[in-house]
Structure formats: structure tokens, C-alpha cells
Amino acid sequence: MARAKRIASEFAKTRDLSEQVLQYAKEYDDSAMRAGERGISVAMLNDSLAFSSRLISSAKEQELATAYMHRQLQEANRAALSAKMKSQGLDRAPRRKKEAEQEQQQADWQEIEDAFSHRRSPFSEKDQGEGASGTKDA
């Protein structure tokens, strides 16, 4: 998770930097065109436009790095999610085992109680033989 956060931070910085460079190139291009309208030399105008072009090309190259970082971010997020799901599964395993043991213990006790309740009572009529002594209700 820490790796994913670090990559996300780097990705955001790289993306913001790329956007700033493109914005600066556009502003620089616009100011060069305004200066050209006011009357600067052609060589100065060409230099300004060339610089603007280099800014744009470097921003395009930065987009490749940004795309690569975006893929890394997606992979890191998948790995973090997988680790989180695995951790949650491992956290649940002891609880499930304990619940299963409790259910088994409850079933064992129920079986014992059922066996005990199905025994014949020594005081029931079926257990008393012909010569049994005792009184019966009239």
C-alpha cells in the first residue's frame, strides 16, 4: 500500500509538471506572437517559436513517462488490493476455524444430550418386571 501511495504521489507530480510545461509553452508561444505583431526581428521570433516547440516536445516525452507511471500505479494498486484481500482472508480464517469448532462442539453436546434423553428411565413402566413392587395409581 505504501508503494502504491508513493507511486500515486510521483504520478500526480509528473502529470502536474507536464501540464505546467504545456501551459508555459502555450503562454510563451502567445507572447512571442504578440511580440511579433509589435515588431521584433524575425530571428528573435524564430528563436521564441523554436523554444516553444522544444517545450512542447519535452512535454510530449514527459507524457510517455507519465503513461508508464500510470501503468505502474495501476499495477501497484492491484497488488495492494490483492494483499489487502489476502490479509482479510487470513484474518477471517482463525475466526472461521473457531466458529467451526464451536459448531462441532455444540453438535457433540447435542448428540450426548439426545443419547441421554433416549435412555430408558429406571422408573418407567416398561422397565418394571412382573414381580416389581410399587404402587400404581388407581
Q: Say whether pTM exceeds 0.85.
A: no
Domain boundaries, the chain: 2-110
Residue 61, pLDDT score: 86
pLDDT in tens, 7-64: 888 888 888 888 888 888 888 888 888 887 888 888 888 888 888 888 888 888 888 8
DSSP state of 133: -
pLDDT in tens, 60-92: 888 888 888 888 889 888 888 888 888 777 777
Residue 125, pLDDT score: 53
10 CB-contact burial (10 Å; exposed 0-12 / middle 13-18 / buried 19+): middle
